Structures are given as C-alpha cells and as structure tokens.
Amino acid sequence: MPHILTLVAPPGALSAHLLPGIRQALATLGADCGTPDWLAEAEAVDIPFDNLANEPAMAAARRVLAEAPVDVIAQPVEGRRKKLLLADMDSTIVTSETLDELAAEAGLKDRIAAITARAMNGELDFKAALRERVSMLKGLEEAALERTWATTELMPGARPLLATMRAGGAHTALVSGGFTFFTGRVAKLVGFHEHHSNTLGIADGTLTGAVEEPILDKDAKLATLKRLAAARGLALTETLTVGDGANDLPMLLAAGLGIAYHAKPSVQAQARFRLNHVDLRGLLFAQGYRASEILPG
C-alpha cells in the first residue's frame, strides 16, 4: 500500500487495543488498511493504508486517540527513509535554550527567557530579538560560556538518531539560531557532519554585546536545507528537518518530513507533522526503523 500511518508513544504506552478503532476510523473515510506492523513492542507501529490522503488519515487517528499520549504521522511509503537531516539545536538536540542559560550567568535569565519565548513563538522578529538579548550580555566574561556548556544536556534520543541515520547513509547538519560556541561542541558530541549558527562578539575575554553578521535566521535555515540537498542531488522530499521554534517553520514545511518537536504553539498549528509525547527516537520510527535497527550512539 502506498501510505503508512505510524503511531509512536513512550515505551510501553502504546496499546494494541487502540488499533481496531483507528483502522475502523480510516475505513469509514474510504481507506483500505493493511496489517499493522510493530516497529517496537508497545511503542511504535505502522498501519499501511490506501485510498485516503495523509492529512485526513492523521486527523481521524488523532480523534480516536483523544488524550492518549500517542503521536501520529502519515506519509507515502516511497522515500520514507531520508538522506539528509537538518536539526535545530536549542530545545531540540539539547534540552535547554543555551542563550537563556548563558543569561543566567549574568542574572538575567528571566528577562531574556521571556524574549526568547516570544521570538520562538513567532511574536517577535528573530534578528531583532537576538540582537536585543545579546546586547544585554555585554561585559559578561567569556568563561561563562564554558560554565553554561558544562550544564547543557542532550535531548533523549539525540545520539541514537544521529548514529542510526548516519549508519543509513544520511548526511546530517545542525542548523541553529544559537551560537557556534555551542553548536560546534554539540555537533562533535552527537555526531553531526557539520554545523551552522551565529557567532558571538568576544574581545579581551568578555562578550561585546554584538552578534556577527549575517545572522542565521529562518530564511538562512531554509537556504541551508536547499543548498545541502542540491549539493547531494537530493529532492526536498528526501530530507528530514526537526525543530521547535518559529524560525524553524520554513524548513519544516519545505522538507519531505518536517517534524515540529515539542514545539511552540504557533509552530504546532502550522507544521504538518509533530511529535509531542516521545523523544528523538520518534524520528527514526517515523522513517520505518525498527527498534532492532536503532543504534545507541
């Protein structure tokens, strides 16, 4: 069958008892459903279907699931495993917003985090908001960057995601509105082939309060996706993007599989695909990887 509906839940939370109701809901809309195929017991399952578009299939499944902690993705079977991954960093590959945590070193976390939240929800111009937040850190000692890095944690599933996709031949890039100080370290730690981000102004051991131009924003993220795909002779349908903020939305909408990951409300409302209940291994299940194929990283 040409389409797949994938259900993903936290380990042990996906009950087989949910499947008949979902298959019936699809059938009511005219779909022909195949036999469910478990990718991971009680965690991820594929339901093949035909004669129904992906959007109504996802909507029908979500109605049946109601408040159950299960994420739903429907897509074509062909080209399901992607050959290029572009990932946001803050609140996606790492659990924190690194600029907010850096601001804590200056006693400004609450003020700067409030601006970050509005920018990530699309309420503020990203470039202007970034310049404003960084200007507030003028004079902060460079050593604060190292202290912030020491407390930065990877998102669960980040290492398996990168290790498994790289083993499958995918090219991987970290693309962030954050800073090279952090993206370089995260890329090396997790295993990204390359990283792209912004550069903080630093002079005489302190932050200058400036960001070097040009600033990497939503347009630059989309341009990076298109450039890396073209360089490898890939169609955008062969790409996977993941992020949580408004500056990720253009690349999420352009990719064959663009996943809003525990995303801000405005992003959730516009993204075609979203994961709200699972860790980053969910991106692998969405591509049809079985639990036995996922590497620890």
Question: In CATH, what number is assigned to the domain containing residue 2?
Answer: 3.30.70.260
Q: How many structural domains compose the chain?
A: 2
Name, in order, each residue with C-beta under 8 angstroms of 296's C-beta and a sequence gap of 6 or more: 159, 160, 163
Q: Are residues 72 and 99 in the same domain?
A: no
Q: Is 219 annotated as catalytic?
A: no
Q: What is residue 297's predicted lDDT score, i.e. its pLDDT?
A: 81
Supply φ then ψ for residue 20, to 5 degrees. -60, -40
Q: What is residue 163's predicted lDDT score, i.e. its pLDDT?
A: 98
**CB contact burial 146-168 (16+ within 10 A = b; e otherwise):** eebbeebeebebbbbbbbbbbee
Residue with tokens 């992607």: 82
Q: Are residues 95 and 112 in the same domain?
A: yes
**CB contact burial 98-114 (16+ within 10 A = b; e otherwise):** bbbbbbbbbebbeebbe
Q: Which residues of the chain have pLDDT under 70?
A: none
Q: Are residues 152 and 24 in the same domain?
A: no
Q: Are residues 104 and 241 in the same domain?
A: yes
pLDDT tens digits, one per residue of 191-248: 999 999 999 999 999 999 999 999 999 999 999 999 999 999 999 999 999 999 999 9
Q: Are residues 175 and 236 in the same domain?
A: yes
Q: What percent of the chain has pLDDT over 90?
A: 99
Q: What is residue 124's predicted lDDT score, i.e. its pLDDT?
A: 95
What's the predicted TM-score (pTM) here? 0.97
Q: What is the domain extent for residue 116?
A: 80-297
Q: Is 90 annotated as catalytic?
A: yes
Q: What is residue 245's predicted lDDT score, i.e. its pLDDT?
A: 97
Q: Are residues 135 and 66 in the same domain?
A: no
Distance CA 68, CA 61 (A): 11
Q: Are residues 170 and 287 in the same domain?
A: yes
Tell me which of 46, 71, 90, 244 is the catalytic residue.
90
- Domain end position, chosen among 49, 78, 107: 78
Q: Are residues 245 and 111 in the same domain?
A: yes
Q: Are residues 145 and 13 in the same domain?
A: no
Q: Are residues 189 and 84 in the same domain?
A: yes
Q: Are residues 14 and 112 in the same domain?
A: no
Tell me which of 37, 50, 71, 88 is the catalytic residue.
88
- Domain end position, chosen among 57, 78, 99: 78
Structure tokens at 36: 């469910």
Supply φ then ψ for residue 174, to 5 degrees. -95, 125
Q: What is residue 79's predicted lDDT score, i.e. its pLDDT?
A: 95
| 147: CATH | 3.40.50.1000
Q: What is residue 201's predicted lDDT score, i.e. its pLDDT?
A: 97
Q: Are residues 258 and 116 in the same domain?
A: yes
Nearest partner of 87 among 279, 211, 215, 221, judged by Cα: 221
- Domain end position, chosen among 78, 100, 134: 78
